[in-house]
Amino acid sequence: MNKFNYTITIQWSDEDNCFVVFLPDFENEMQPITHGETYEEGLKNGQEVLELIIEEYQEDGKTLPQPKTFVFA
C-alpha cells in the first residue's frame, strides 16, 4: 500500500464503553468508522478500515480526499 497521511482520531466513549475511531478526512463515510476495546485495538482497526476505504476509492476511480494538515505557529 502507498503511504497516505490521513488522520485517525481515537476517543473514549462512555456510552459505547470502548474507544471509537473517526477518519475526519473521509467526511462522506459513516462516522465513527470503527472501535476497539483498547486504544491499540482501535488504532489497528482504524488503520485496517482506512486501507479498505482507500482501496475502494481507487478501485472505483474516485478521487481520494486531500489529507487535512495542522499548522503549528
Question: What stretches in the chain show pLDDT beneath 70?
Answer: 1-2
| Distance in Å from the first CA to the final CA of the chain | 32
Number of folded domains that form the chain? 1
CATH classification at residue 66: 3.30.160
pTM above 0.75, yes or no: yes
pLDDT (0 to 100) of residue 2: 56
Question: Can you give the three-state secondary structure of the chain, one letter per residue?
Answer: CCCCCCCCEEEEECCCCEEEEECCCCCCCCCCCEEECCHHHHHHHHHHHHHHHHHHHHHCCCCCCCCCCCCCC
Containing domain of residue 13, as a range? 1-73
pLDDT (0 to 100) of residue 1: 46
